[in-house]
Structure 1
Amino acid sequence: MSKTLGSIFTLVLPLATLGVTDLSFAEPVDKSSYTLFNPTPVEHLREMSTDRPDATEGATTVDAGHYQIEMDLYNTSIDEMKSEDIKTRETAIGSFNLRMGLTQSTELNIIFDPHLEQKVETAGESDTNTGIGDTTIRYKINFMGNEGGPISLGLIPFVKIPTADDDLGNDEYEGGLVIPIGLELPNGFELGMMAQFNYLKNEANKKYHTQLDTSMVLGHDIAGDLGGYIELFSASSTEEDAAWEATANIGFTYEPTHRHLVFTSFEVG
């Protein structure tokens, strides 16, 4: 099976600070008293970090009482099973991750696909389904590196709620746990790593299996507000007859202000 994933355009907006275009980030202060209902003052906000568009999750959280939305404006993927003459094209528009800062080291995520289109071609025939996708709820905990430093470490338990329309999901609850790590390297390089443990429904029966996803991403500024990254991702499943998957990803970031980011990325595997 071959897979090509491209044309991903991601927009990041911190909703609680829209209109703020120039922030001078202060030295770390005690933020233990700030919560969802007692927001961190703007002058004490940490530098923005994102979980998209790469597959590697970040370890840092959004400041307490603030909101950040990371949206894929357009995302299309193509899966080909040449041995069975099956080609699947899936397009997602407006998929988003809404991040809500709960405390100085925790956040709640709501991930949702408001519009999916799946087209399956088999032996000259095609079938297309459109509708909404599943919803994923995550709780991120940061253990170190939220306020800067050479290492960041977090933990992200999650559950998938089967909200997808017919034929766009498996109508089953699934979940897992993510362990993200971030490292600041010499000469301005940043390295992100992730191990994700998934508990997933089998395709052939009602039983469940585990799947381990691992990834590594290396990023660096290119020029001015333009940055870039490369990423390697793999997935290994315990499901019977499941193949090992591996992809390579390259992407570019543009940061017109400290609080707005635009991404584009391409993936092959």
Structure 2
Amino acid sequence: MRAFYPTFLLSLALAGPAAAQANHPLNDTIDVDKTHYTLFNPTPRKYMRPMVPDRPGITESPYSVDAGHFQYETDVLRLLTRREGPQHGHDWYVNHFLAKIGLTDRTDFQVALDTYTYSHNFNDAEAGPSPFDQNQLNRGVGDLTLRLKHTLVGDDDSRGALGLVGYVQLPTGGRVGDGGYEPGLTLTGIFQCTKTWSVGGQVANNYFFDPEAGQHFYQLTPTLTTDYQFTKLVQGFVELVGYWDTRQSAWHSSVNLGPQVDISSNVQLDFGAHLPLTHSVDREYFLGLSFRR
């Protein structure tokens, strides 16, 4: 796995020049200069690029929202289950959303909020006079995250694109939040192999806060994803995710997969699963929705 990620990054770097040689754009149907459109001078709807949400996988889209337009992406419902020795638990997420507004043709501003989290943890190793002594239940509104995305190269007129996402998570969630400021920076890319098949991936650099240790730690999260458009209505994706952090010198991995349903050019429904390939990775099942105006 370690030798794979440098090769993948090199492929992304080569995607830009290859995309510039493409004669027919695959991500848009209209070749027009949109650089003069802004938040206060929105891109006309007939010139908008196809909607490419950051969900349902972990890999971010390198494409920003068109200037002056709004996009909303949400985990309508997500279930996480976990087990590590005698400790186990589950979380329910309701409407963990990401709202975006296009500032320019290549940059958008985003706000993410964990609207409601129900977290229940158990420790079978703890003994007490009552079963409730072994349980920990937290619920409420989670953390707020501010994000900025910029498309570096590519976009409407090319087969490939690279994007950069910077963000900071604010500790607003109390007992259901992470408990500290968490900054991060992600480099993401995609290459459209054909009109129906694309490959992409990213390298995410995060500083997570560990409330038990009371300190931050660095985590590297590379991904590789591919999706295929089976019909105008249905597409599917498979995503490989790796995790490494400074708390332990070992790689962990998981796989995401599921279908996406294009209800219209502005509405997308998705559902699927996030399955662990190694230990210390949560198992997840999700139902999501994305739309724009």
**Which residue number corresponds to residue 10 of structure 1?**
none
RMSD: 1.6
**Residues of 1 paired with 2:170 and 2:249: CA distance?**
23
Q: Which of 142, 159, 163 is residue 154 of structure 1 equivalent to? A: 163
- Identical pairs, percent: 27
**Which residue number corresponds to residue 106 of structure 2?**
105
Q: Which segment is superposed worse, 39-48 or 123-132?
A: 123-132
**Residues of 1 paired with 2:178 and 2:235: CA distance?**
37
SS, match of residue 230 in structure 2: strand
SS, match of residue 37 in structure 1: coil
SS, match of residue 79 in structure 1: strand
**Residues of 2 paired with 1:170 and 1:143: CA distance?**
31
Instruction: Spell out, residue by residue over 1:217-261, the C-alpha distance to the aligned partner (whole angstroms, 9 max, x if none).
Output: 11001234111011111110012x475321111110001211110
Q: CA deviation at 1:169?
A: 2.0
**Residues of 2 paired with 1:200 and 1:105: CA distance?**
28
More helix by share: 2
**Which residue number corresponds to residue 91 of structure 1?**
92
SS, match of residue 43 in structure 1: helix
**Residues of 1 paired with 2:68 and 2:135: CA distance?**
47
**Residues of 2 paired with 1:43 and 1:147: CA distance?**
13
**Residues of 2 paired with 1:143 and 1:76: CA distance?**
34
- Distance change >3 Å, CA 191–CA 128, structure 1 → 2: same
Q: Which runs of 5+ in 1 are unaligned?
A: 1-24
Q: Which runs of 5+ in 2 are unaligned?
A: 1-27, 125-130, 277-293
**Which residue number corresponds to residue 18 of structure 1?**
none
Q: Which of 31, 34, 43 is residue 31 of structure 1 equivalent to? A: 34
Q: Which of 224, 230, 243 is residue 216 of structure 1 equivalent to? A: 224
Q: CA deviation at 1:28?
A: 2.2
**Residues of 1 paired with 2:214 and 2:118: CA distance?**
26
- Distance change >3 Å, CA 184–CA 134, structure 1 → 2: same
- Distance change >3 Å, CA 204–CA 115, structure 1 → 2: closer
**Which residue number corresponds to residue 120 of structure 1?**
121
Q: Does residue 1:256 correspond to 2:257, yes or no?
A: no
Aligned 8 A contact 1:162 1:173 in 2: yes
Report the TM-score when normalising by structure 2.
Answer: 0.78
Q: Which of 152, 164, 172 is residue 163 of structure 1 equivalent to? A: 172
**Residues of 1 paired with 2:212 and 2:121: CA distance?**
19
Aligned 8 A contact 2:70 2:99 in 1: yes
Instruction: Spell out, residue by residue over 1:35-89, the C-alpha distance to the aligned partner (whole angstroms, 9 max, x if none).
Output: 11111111111111110011100100100000000011100100101x2x11120
Mapping 1:163-182, distance limit 5 Å: 163-166=172-175, 168-182=176-190
**Which residue number corresponds to residue 79 of structure 2?**
76
**Which residue identity does 1:149 align to in structure 2?**
S
Q: CA deviation at 1:170?
A: 3.1
**Which residue number corresponds to residue 289 of structure 2?**
none
**Residues of 2 paired with 1:224 and 1:188: CA distance?**
10
SS, match of residue 160 in structure 1: strand
**Which residue number corresponds to residue 225 of structure 1?**
233
**Residues of 2 paired with 1:198 and 1:259: CA distance?**
31
- Distance change >3 Å, CA 227–CA 141, structure 1 → 2: same
